[in-house]
Structure 1
Amino acid sequence: MVAYLEVRYPAHQTDGDRSLTTRVNPIDHQFRISDLQEEINNSQENGNQDSHHINDSTGRTVEFIDLLHEKGPEDDIASLDVESLFTNVPVEETISIILDCVYRSDKNPLPISEDVLRDMLKASTTETPFLSHWGKLFRQVDGVAMQSPLEVLFANMYLATIEERTFREHKKPEIYGRYIDDIFVAIEETDDARKLADALKRNLVLNFTTEHSQQKTLSFLDVLVKQQEGQFKTTVYTKTTHAGRFLNARRECPEAYKKSVVSAYVNRAFTHITSWRDIHTELGRIRQLLTNIGYADQIIKTAIKQKMDEFYQSNTTTKKEENLIIYHRLHYGSAYKEDCCTLRGIVNRGVKPKSPLPQNN
């Protein structure tokens, strides 16, 4: 689903105020949030080469693990968590930060005026109506609503600015990685985590909770980080309350969705774990979980074999080849199987793969 910023201007106004119930004209301006996020990321990268923000993408954990292996362990590790970040982000200040980043950086500005973007951001945050369970309409005048497409953008922009101000006066840890409101740091002394939290709080109105490693072990995102033999060891982290519930194989949905569930769990084992013994243990756990909810053992074996083949090929191939990626939007409905068959036929007739895939794919 693509998220959009929309500005709707009412057909009439009452006493100079914008009405929540009046009819509206067609959308005057529409801009994809992903385009705005891309522009901001480019501006941040150009302005700060020493970036410490873990990107909001499917590869965020891999990026974090690469950071650990690049830097190596310090004396201790800890994590900080920002309390109630999204609903406490100062909207007006963050909008000003976004506008400065977009229109006053070295990159070319967006193809819309600054005033229009300001109005769109305000309309999507401070003027968004909410219907209560007793039928009344309310507006959230500050903070960003949970599940809003803008919540991550606003939170990242605000915290990135706070970090920049803080590290002008406070020494930045050797390892500092943040994913939205979760922060991982390598520290020299136990009290350093509290000092860093206090330094950050002096520049904003939010509170932090801190967690220190236990026996040189700490969980962050879906990774369990261990300090062993002068280096970081990582494996998959699952909460004790995890019940192994995800897409059931007996559900009526495209087969591609079910295969993607298996592939996602298998891929995570290979990307998150540094020890082959731990990979073997994790694959056994995954196999049992998937079997419990109806996944065929052959599908699981195929996914594991394909990942193993990819791993060995990536370590033996010297010449890097570019893959051609073709995107096609499928609308889920009663005829999705026919759509998949039609698309597969087009690919089979018009594309000749260099390395043919197994027949069961």
Structure 2
Amino acid sequence: MYGRYIDDIFMTTDQSIEEMNIQLEKANNKDINIKISTSINTSVHFLDVTVINESGHLRTSIYHKPTTEPYVLPYTSDHPRHIYRNIPYAALLRAARICSNVEDFHSECIRIDMSLLLNKYPAAFITEQFQRFFHLNDAISVSSQLNKDAYQRLHKISLHQSTRREKKLREGP
């Protein structure tokens, strides 16, 4: 597996750590202006994702930097109401895309809920927006019980949902 975002690269390999270190050392010596820093482990943070190798299966969850505050747009700020509705929806969609298992998704839902409460979102509003997310994504059973099969469907569907920009590009001018 290989993933790249600008100058960040993630990859998995069947090579031994020693073989990988030799390859990376060769790559590091090719150009003195390019330095490759590595993290070789069964668990790594890549961008905003924690990737864990569990017996050959990759498990992903959202990585939160330890210094990050649980800050979102305060409910008391003066913005159009649709903005507030989109904040929980976008956070839940991000969690469904990144978390590969229902337990990590559930933990992230709790984190989102707490973050919204800390930023003065009314509890009833939060509940309503969570239900809206699960209803629109045909995943009510994920919200009412930790249904692994239903969550896997939600995870796969959310991974393949086009962004607004992708939809516009497909539609053309």
Q: Tell me the residue number matched to 1:189.
A: 16
Distance in 2 (CA, whole Å) between partners of 1:229 and 1:303 is 37
| Offset of residue 203 of structure 1 | 5.2
| Offset of residue 283 of structure 1 | 0.7
Distance in 2 (CA, whole Å) between partners of 1:236 and 1:296 is 25
Distance in 2 (CA, whole Å) between partners of 1:252 and 1:180 is 35
Distance in 2 (CA, whole Å) between partners of 1:197 and 1:298 is 55
| Offset of residue 183 of structure 1 | 0.7
Q: Tell me the residue number matched to 1:212.
A: 40
What is the letter of the counterpart of residue 303 of structure 1? Q
Name the SS of the counterpart of 1:277 in structure 2: helix
Q: Tell me the residue number matched to 2:93.
A: 267
Residue 67 of structure 2: which of 241, 259, 276 is its match? Answer: 241
When the two structures are superposed, what TM-score results if normalisation uses the length of structure 2? 0.70
Give the direction of change, closer, same or farther, for the CA distance of 1:257–1:196 in structure 2 (3 Å limit). Answer: same
Is 1:251 the counterpart of 2:54? The answer is no
Q: Tell me the residue number matched to 2:168.
A: none
What is the letter of the counterpart of residue 211 of structure 1? S
Tell me if structure 1 keeps the 8 A contact 2:24–2:36. Answer: no
Give the direction of change, closer, same or farther, for the CA distance of 1:198–1:303 in structure 2 (3 Å limit). Answer: farther
| Offset of residue 294 of structure 1 | 0.7
Gapped regions of structure 2 (runs ≥ 5): 141-149, 155-163, 165-173
Distance in 2 (CA, whole Å) between partners of 1:221 and 1:234 is 12
Residue 297 of structure 1: which of 118, 123, 126 is its match? Answer: 123
Give the direction of change, closer, same or farther, for the CA distance of 1:248–1:184 in structure 2 (3 Å limit). Answer: same
CA-atom RMSD, angstroms?
2.6
1:141-187 Cα offsets, whole Å, 9 max, x none, are xxxxxxxxxxxxxxxxxxxxxxxxxxxxxxxxxx2211011111113
Is 1:312 the counterpart of 2:151? The answer is no
Distance in 2 (CA, whole Å) between partners of 1:179 and 1:197 is 21
Gapped regions of structure 1 (runs ≥ 5): 1-174, 317-324, 326-361
| Offset of residue 303 of structure 1 | 2.5
Tell me if structure 2 keeps the 8 A contact 1:266–1:303. Answer: no
More helix by share: 2
Give the direction of change, closer, same or farther, for the CA distance of 1:205–1:285 in structure 2 (3 Å limit). Answer: same
Name the SS of the counterpart of 1:196 in structure 2: helix
Give the direction of change, closer, same or farther, for the CA distance of 1:257–1:203 in structure 2 (3 Å limit). Answer: same
| Offset of residue 189 of structure 1 | 1.9
- Percent identity of equivalent pairs: 25
Name the SS of the counterpart of 1:252 in structure 2: coil
Q: Tell me the residue number matched to 1:330.
A: none
Size of the aligned set, in residue pairs, is 141
